[in-house]
Amino acid sequence: MSSAPLALTRWNVFNQSWPIMLANGAAPIVGIVDTLMVGRFVGTGALAGIGLGAVIYGIAYWGFGFLRMSTAGLAAQSDGAGRADEVQAHILRAIPLGILIGLLIFALQIPLLKGAFAIFTASAEIEGSATDYIRARLWGLPATLGTIALMGWFVGISRAGLALGLQIVLNIVNIILSPIFVIVLGGGLIGVGLASAVAEWAGFAAGLFLMIREIKRRGGWQAGAFTKKVLLARDALSKLGVANGNIFIRTMALTVGFNFFGNAAATEGETFLAGYHILMQMITMAALVLDGFAHTAEAVTGAAYGAKNKPRFDRAVRLTSEFSIGFALLIGSLIYVAGPFLIRLLTTDPAVIASAMTYLPYCALAPILGFAAYQMDGIFIGTTRTAAMRNAGIAAVIFYIGAHYLIYPILGAAGIWVAFLFYYVVRALTLAVAFPSIRKHMDITHAN
């Protein structure tokens, strides 16, 4: 059986969003704890190394984000259509796929790292530090990708509190282990990475437990979910393959954009790169909090799309977007006011503090200019309009890179940040062009 659909009131939308906001906001705590341990107890060179390592590791983490996105969209639509067997089948397909991808990347880490360092420019010392961190983190990658699929499934079935529970377990384990591995055992960057890897496996185990409990709450396993006919249904696998392929290309384009930003920061030197890494922790935190409303949009627009209910779809878009705008302004203001305190908390190096403080205003503008991009992503994921996402993602990164080469010669290091902010705007605009097609192609019913 499926749960009753979420009533689309402002209170219920917020009630669905705040656990996602907390879960998403807690996600970068792993990176913040890692940065705190390295910045306080290892050194500036290692801080630059973990900054570069986080960028490269992020290719695997974000590059396979389609596991979350496609699972969320497909589960939401199946839930809206009342297909409990398909709701379960989606996660039974996604988790093994995530683990398999993680194991493959772990096995191929040596050539993959060589390829990464052929693209990203840094000193031999920074590359060595980044390598130590990445190799340690990769022990947890299969669990990370399995967890991503679980997070998407929880969001898709409007059970955001379960995603929060998973994230709480992960972060508690990381917060306990990181100081032990770094301060007590003296593990340095390897210790930081291993603590995060162990925490990822703990989070994955918690997610599996919560998934099984949720399925029991909904009436237990559906017999059809385990059948070859359902799990290997040609139409479902084809839809999953197309959705994953399109989202993968879109996410790779997005990753190219963010890694281009990181690579541009690396060319400005160790101090700029270290300051950039600290500011990116704030931007990541802001983006993931705002994604709470985008993820709610995935669930409620996806369910409305699956139920073919256009009025409900329109209301879902409006309510989630209203909250997103308000919180974007609030978070941007908080970054500007509290940013100096956070910068000094994460590093004691005067030069790094000065660099981060210089570019803090650009960091504060990121959520204000970026909320529309997050929100449009949520709508397109929920309705699995993945071809449009793919095309928009490719176009946006081309515009961004072109803008960088026009702006950087004029503004210098500040131009790196200006072009990056432009990237947020163009991401939203390229999706907005395709938004009317979603409503146009819905098979409309007016059932409430």
Amino acid at 78: S
Q: Average pLDDT in the 150-165 region?
A: 86
Q: Which token pair is 359?
A: 């570019």
Distances in Å between the Cα of 422 and the Cα atoms of 193, 261, 282, 370, 407 are 33, 12, 18, 9, 10
pLDDT at 372: 92
Query: How many domains is the chain partitioned into structurally?
Result: 1
445 pairs with which residues across the strands? 309
φ, ψ (nearest 5 deg) of residue 309: -115, 95
Dist. CA 228–CA 35, nearest whole Å: 46
Dist. CA 216–CA 222, nearest whole Å: 10
H-helix segments, 27-65: 29-41, 44-63
φ, ψ (nearest 5 deg) of residue 233: -60, 130
pLDDT at 447: 44
Dist. CA 316–CA 299, nearest whole Å: 9
For the stretch 88-134, pLDDT in tens is 888 888 898 889 999 998 898 888 878 777 777 667 777 777 888 88
For residue 448, tell me if it sits in a domain.
no
For the stretch 13-58, pLDDT in tens is 887 787 877 776 666 666 677 777 766 656 666 677 777 777 788 7
Q: Which token pair is 423?
A: 């990237």
Which structural domain range is residue 396 located in?
Answer: 10-440
Q: Which range, of 76-90, 98-112, 349-363, averages the lowest pLDDT?
A: 76-90
For residue 372, tell me if it sits in a domain.
yes
Q: Which range, of 175-179, 219-223, 348-352, averages the lowest pLDDT?
A: 219-223
**Using CB atoms within 10 A of its CB, is residue 269 exposed (0-12), middle (13-18) or buried (19+)?**
middle
Average pLDDT score over the chain: 83
Are the CB atoms for 297 and 4 separated by under 8 Å?
no
For residue 357, tell me if it sits in a domain.
yes
For residue 289, tell me if it sits in a domain.
yes
For residue 3, tell me if it sits in a domain.
no
- Report residue 448's pLDDT band, with 50, 70 and 90 as the boundaries: very low
For the stretch 236-267, pLDDT in tens is 666 777 777 888 888 888 878 988 998 898 88
DSSP string, 306-345: HHTBHHHHHHHHHHHHHHHHHHHHHHHHHHHHHHHHHHHH
For residue 445, tell me if it sits in a domain.
no
Are the CB atoms for 247 and 74 separated by under 8 Å?
no
For residue 227, tell me if it sits in a domain.
yes
Greater model confidence, 298 or 230: 298
Given a cut of 80, whether residue 223 has pLDDT beyond it is: no
DSSP string, 188-227: HHHHHHHHHHHHHHHHHHHHHHHHHHHHHHTTS--GGGGS
Q: Average pLDDT in the 168-176 region?
A: 87
Dist. CA 431–CA 292, nearest whole Å: 19
Contacts of 440 (CB under 8 A, 6+ apart): none
For residue 183, tell me if it sits in a domain.
yes
0.75 cut: is pTM over it?
A: no
